[in-house]
Copies of this chain bind each other. A is one copy, B any other.
Amino acid sequence: MRWNKISDAVVRRLPIYLRVLEEVSREERKNLMSSQELGERAGVAPALVRKDLAWFGEFGKQGVGYQVDYLKNELCRILNLDREVRVGLIGVGALGHALARYNRARALGDETFRTHLVALFDNDPAKWGELVDDLEIWPVDALAGKVAELGLEMVIVTVPAQYAQEVVDRAVSAGIKAVLNFAPVKLIVPAGVHVANADLSLELQRLAYYLKP
């Protein structure tokens, strides 16, 4: 089953629902949840919860609600998180290093965390072969080979702004389909490749708007 043209606004909320379901499943041993409860904890109106889920199938029972574990599994499946998703990270500076350690720690401690960092890349020869936790740093030239060897599907980009487009171009030609970009630049990618931007300085500037002048 492929669902065409699900809007980005809908896709954004699915991981939020998933997080709520995982919390409830872990903490509360509760088995059923209404769109009302789920929406409350996710910060989404109940009608919107139902409408979002209805794009993908009928997961609830009238008069009863949704089964927590069943819906959780369905959302995992929809998000391709019912398998390990293998991620590379390009640019092992301070930020890349911190994200690598964070991701590894989460992956070890929380088995519902399925986006796993499995390779690090950097262009500085001094770093090649170095380990971050148990992960080796490779030259960016090794990217294409590693994509094939390890089955990488996603990359996190933490290189300086001026190199971001270049490394993304290389990742895309190697077959990468999703990019989490921390560099403060607008990346240009072909259709079918998806970019999420995590741009610290844009967020800080946006927040500054709400300060009193």
Contacts and interface: CB of A to CB of B under 8 A. Distances in A.
Nearest to A102: B95
Interface in A184-213: 184, 186, 194, 196, 198, 200-213
Interface residues of A, number: 53
A57 to B, nearest CB: 14
Given A196-B203, A207-B194, A95 B106 contact: no
A210 B14 CA distance: 13
Q: For A80, A103, A177, which residue has the most chain B Cβ atoms within 10 angstroms?
A: A80
Contact of A113 (B153, B194, B201, B203): B201
A213 to B, nearest CB: 6
Interface stretch (A15-23, A59-67, A142-150, A163-171): A15-23
Given A177-B210, A210-B178, A210-B194, A205 B94 contact: no
Contact of A178 (B12, B42, B180, B208): B208
A120 B204 CA distance: 16
B154 A14 contact: no
A98 B94 contact: yes
Interface in A69-120: 78-81, 85, 87, 93-95, 97-99, 101-103, 106, 113-115
A37 to B, nearest CB: 14
Q: For A113, A210, A212, which residue has the most chain B Cβ atoms within 10 angstroms?
A: A210
A186 B17 CA distance: 12
Contacts of A153: 211
Interface of A: 11-12, 14-16, 18-19, 42-43, 78-81, 85, 87, 93-95, 97-99, 101-103, 106, 113-115, 153-154, 177-180, 184, 186, 194, 196, 198, 200-213
Given A12-B206, A80-B209, A154-B211, 10 more contacts: A15-B201, A16-B186, A85-B208, A93-B98, A94-B97, A94-B101, A115-B204, A154-B204, A196-B206, A196-B207
The 10 tightest CB contacts between A and B, nearest first, are A98-B98, A15-B205, A178-B207, A94-B98, A115-B204, A194-B210, A196-B203, A95-B98, A80-B208, A15-B202
